[in-house]
Structure 1
């Protein structure tokens, strides 16, 4: 019995162990199935998220394309509006000049009418004498001669006054015609300005709508960071390309300068040889003149004088060739970079909204300075240079880049319109753009950078203290 109990107990423990094992296997299988289910759900969510991100990126690309087109349209409309305003101002000045001329001509006509009236009154007071009657009248010859002279004088004076009045009336008619034409042009310019203004407003409304959609699509911090890094890389790549192009151009200019220097050295050597030859010739002629003076031969002296004149003319031609060679030296067109004495003027006047080096995101800092200014304010070049980029760029809107030489460049971003094109030279203080809020900004202002060898540097060392 005791053995049966032992066997029964062992059997019971085996059953318990088997049950426990079965329960463990069932629990493990259940967890594996749950894990697989969870993994599948996560993979589905990841795929769905990737799909959403892909769609968001496509929509963002479309919005960027639309933003670029709208802001380019705004730039063109603002440039036309600015040009129309200048033409309108010129025509208004012309109209004012015509009005002054008209007043002067009217005063002149009034004076001429008064003069003619006085002459007629004088003739009436003198009596209405018939010319033939004066000739046939039996009077003293001297008195008759005086009367005839006075009669001729009055007639000539009246004729001259009538002719002068007629000329004045002709000028007044021409003045009125010119005034009407100028007023017609002014009306046409005003209509054109209104059309440009309406087009500008329509483009601005469209751009504002696209800008709001764009800002909503980049609310996520990760998307903002990606966009900023992408824009920075695109800008650096473009600047690096421009720097390489500029270095290649400077290399060609150095080669041209070396070639011209060699040519100038050769011309100088030829000039010295020619001068030596002319000096020897002058010495020989002087010796011949001395001999001719001793021999008192007038003919020989005249021949030597002619030779001296010829030598002088040759010297003058050599001097002219040297002057022409110096004036024909081409200008290399190079620029001397930027001075660090803090004397450069700011491109626009306004408050500093964002300073260089301030945090932009958790990982990025601002590479330049954002200066607040009203839309349409003129942006002026800080130093002389050449425009190497003038177009829309993602993240910077309507962007203009000026190369100042020696590796220095200045950048002007978020403009409403660009007033200069690639390849044009600009002077210090010359207007190059109009302030705007392109590139998806929510307020108007100028984004300004100074770069050396493609890297952004603090502009405060170059710009004057505010």
Structure 2
């Protein structure tokens, strides 16, 4: 092979090796993915094999060539770097010149506008002075006119307004003059800047031409000197050593990243397990408290029932006593002798009357006590029912969560029959029944729940609407794959945005009282296309 061919092969090999090493060295950062590092490792291994083959070939040719040529690679690199820098600087100067010329055009336009505005202010001031002079209006003329005092006062008032207007015109004129001077200064500065850019561009062009000549000379030496470069073998050996070190570094990075990923997965699983455990403990605690409240409410209801029964028995006894006393009073009246006017009733009759009155008073008090205890018993019964309902709702909510988790893990798409409820609570508005607030019928259901309670998606899908709507407050709509929509209204806040993908059982909002509502709750609809359907028929029993 000729010396020129050997020179070309060495030059291409050296440039390619340096470029690949620079690329791989720049890409070995720890933030890269394992797949990227693996690909870099494979590329580096292939490059090492190619490099070792070239080393053997070059060493053989070097042994056959002269070895006393000067290494001019560094000079060539410096020359080419300087040419690149000068070209970049010229491009930057062209960009600055274009920008400065555009700004200069804008300033000249602004200068013309300011000049016209200043002429307008001068004309306005001249017109004022001319008008005042033509009509002979001045403070001395008014004072020496001999007119009555009221007319002189009016003239002087008018003159004060004229003086203020003239003062304002003068101030405006001075302002426009100052602005014009500032614009002129900017124009001069930009012209000076343009001249400086032009001078620098000329100097850089001259430097570029000189550097190109230098580069041509260096390149000529390279073409002559690179025919035999004994130092190429040692250089390639150094490149091979650097490449081996880089491959080791990539492998170390892969190992570290895999370990970091493994540890992060363990920590993430531990946090998730702790979160699930804490959530489960909170739910169990809430269930225990609800059960305790239900038991307490049941005991109170039973106690209230016993007290009400005792009050009814006491009332019955008071009633019997009142009947007996009334009968005794009737007999006493029958047995009492007739008495004329002014004769006092018999003592037995008086005693019977007092006993009957006391018995009636006792009966009235017993009835009041019995009625109060009946009211307390009914309150206790309602409290027991509410506590039992809360226990049932909590149990059903846990069942909803288990069902949602099972369906999410199974990968089922769309809305399914027996879906978990969006929130558990008492249903106060039923599908198809009249609405007392609008006179229309319910197209969904109203579920009463505490403010801030999480609202869950009843099926997987995409959020197609999430905003405030009059009458429905903060509204979110989820589109399911099988052509159904689920609608959630009156929310305190929305947790998802349009375009978000949601899973069944995922929190998408919080219960609130927006849209004109008084009590917190969730308005929930299911629609097949645009047609409302009874949502209860789709939800778990």
Range of TM-score over shorter length: 0.3 to 0.5
Higher RCO structure, 1 or 2 (CA under 8 Å, sep 6+)? 1
Report the TM-score, using the length of structure 1 for normalisation: 0.43
Q: What TM-score do the two structures reach when normalised by structure 2?
A: 0.38
Rg larger in structure:
2
